[in-house]
Structure 1
Amino acid sequence: MKTIDTTTRNSKNITQDPKLKLKSDFEDFILENEHPCMMAQTVFSMDKVQLFEYPSFGTAETAQKLIRDLKSYVENYDFESNDFETFLAVFPNSPKYSEIEFEKLLWKQLHFLHQADHCDWDQEVSADPENEHFSFSLCGKAFYIVGLHPQASRKARQSPHAALAFNLHWQFEKLREMGTYEAIRDRIRDRDRALQGTINPMLEDFGSNSEARQYSGRAVEKGWKCPFHH
């Protein structure tokens, strides 16, 4: 595991340091290409992304490293602040997966993470991926997980490298508490439509359908069954 230094971007340093180059690749993807997710743009512009690099995707070995990093992330998260952060796990050595291949490895990695996690499931959400209140729990906290990879059909998911973004479910509840959730949601969907011509057909509000259908970014079939079971 390599922690990515979150210092100010410097073209000379980026050229010399592959770790900074990796972070720069994602900053360009989010900040320079009219990415529709304003929340992603906010956390990158405010340097609120903790980016970690892992050598392999979909393995038990990676899960052991990832769960330690996530545990530290949760323990140090400031839940009293209105500033949001994102944990980004990047797998730069990965080949260009098809959407099906990426989806299978995403759920395989989450399965291994669940096995490595010794905390109880967050009681604020369901552990049943068929339930409309499902959200993935790690280190005792619910996360909304966003799969990203170069071959994604949605432009907003076409990251420079395969990656998993872990966003605390608490952040969305905080937006609702602040009274800004609906306005931000609608603007993101409008921007997504402007970018690709349509909004992501998988996007639904929490409580309308299981968010497990949204994780990989693929437009899953109506009868799709989540491969993960708690």
Structure 2
Amino acid sequence: MLSTTNDNDHPLALRFADFIRDVDFPCVGAKSALAKQQIRFVVGRDLRSAWDDLRIYPNLLDLAWSYAREPSLFQSLVILFEEDSDLDEAGFERCLWERLASLSNKDDWHGQTPDPRVSTDPSDPHFSLSFGGEAFFVVGLHPRASRPARRFERPALVFNLHGQFEQLRAAGMYDKMRSTIIARDIALSGEANPMLAAHGTVSEARQYSGRAVGDDWRCPFSGRAVASVGNGALGGRGD
């Protein structure tokens, strides 16, 4: 069984929690997850390195499987990196996708089939990453992000389960919550996020790093095969 990590009391995790608690931080979903103590933290060394990928992946698997068993709202996994790494927006985006590709390869190796409810092709409007059979949306933050809501003192990757968005839609809560977040982000930044788009209109991969990109942007990640070819040692979703 893969072992999980609990870095919730790490000083960097505590500072990230304060960042979310700030009255101006726009994402009310993150605030709810923090208030419910449903944010898990893993603190790694350097976004540019694969050093911690083997520590990160079991936590993604555990979150996916626990959500599949009990799909409660507002759960996130936050990966924080101690090294600033001095990356600009383009450099952060490149390293973000290197880590996501490495983690996706580990999901394949462990025999985990991508979530069939989303596309594995990063150019597809219905694309999402998958880990442990569950779809995820990723939010990247770093010190030199142009959007204030994405500007944290160290590089960070926030993994949110797509199933939660569908739960909110089914409960009639999604549109109101999304509108609230957009309004709060405009109040913080002075303008709307040009990369914001609803799932199914353009690929969400364009939004992960937070960098504003043009229509000619191509995702550095090539995607995954629909059928996993891993060793299947773990199987299923841990049910």
Corresponding letter in the other structure for 1:169: H
**Stretch of structure 1 that moved more, 28-37 or 137-146:** 28-37
Q: Out of 3, 6, 25, which is 2:6 matched to?
A: 3
The corresponding residue for 2:93 is 103
The corresponding residue for 1:75 is 65
The corresponding residue for 2:140 is 147
Judge conservation of contact 2:84–2:153 (CA < 8 Å) in 1.
Answer: no
User: Which secondary structure does the structure 2 equivalent of 1:3 belong to?
Assistant: coil
The corresponding residue for 1:186 is 179
TM-score if structure 2 supplies the norm length? 0.86
Corresponding letter in the other structure for 2:94: K
Which structure is higher in helix share?
Answer: 1
Matches within 5 A, 1:31-70: 31-70=21-60
Q: For 2:146 and 2:140, how far apart are their aligned partners in 1?
A: 12
TM-score if structure 1 supplies the norm length? 0.89
Corresponding letter in the other structure for 1:98: D
Q: For 2:23 and 2:144, how far apart are their aligned partners in 1?
A: 17
1:24 and 2:14 matched: yes
Q: Out of 125, 148, 158, which is 2:151 matched to?
A: 158
Corresponding letter in the other structure for 1:4: D
How far apart are residue 79 of structure 1 and its match?
Answer: 5.0
- Listed as ranges, the gaps of 5+ residues in structure 1 are 7-18
Matches within 5 A, 1:116-127: 116-118=106-108, 119-127=112-120
User: Which secondary structure does the structure 1 equivalent of 2:216 belong to?
Assistant: coil
Aligned positions, number: 217
How far apart are residue 77 of structure 1 and its match?
Answer: 2.9
**Stretch of structure 1 that moved more, 113-122 or 151-160:** 113-122
How far apart are residue 181 of structure 1 and its match?
Answer: 0.4
Q: For 1:59 and 1:79, how far apart are their aligned partners in 2?
A: 32
Q: For 2:122 and 2:71, how far apart are their aligned partners in 1?
A: 30
Corresponding letter in the other structure for 2:155: A
- Listed as ranges, the gaps of 5+ residues in structure 2 are 224-239
Q: What is the root-mean-square deviation of aligned Cα atoms in Å? A: 1.6
Change (3 A) 1:42 1:110: same
1:223 and 2:226 matched: no
How far apart are residue 78 of structure 1 and its match?
Answer: 6.2
How far apart are residue 44 of structure 1 and its match?
Answer: 1.3
The corresponding residue for 1:85 is 75
Q: What are the superposed Cα offsets for residues 130-167 of structure 1, whole Å, 9 maximum, x if unpaired? A: 11000111121110000011110000001122110000
Q: Out of 203, 209, 221, which is 2:196 matched to?
A: 203
Q: For 1:215 and 1:31, how far apart are their aligned partners in 2?
A: 22
Judge conservation of contact 1:60–1:113 (CA < 8 Å) in 2.
Answer: no
Percent sequence identity is 39
With CA pairs under 8 Å and 6+ residues apart, which has the higher RCO, 1 or 2?
2
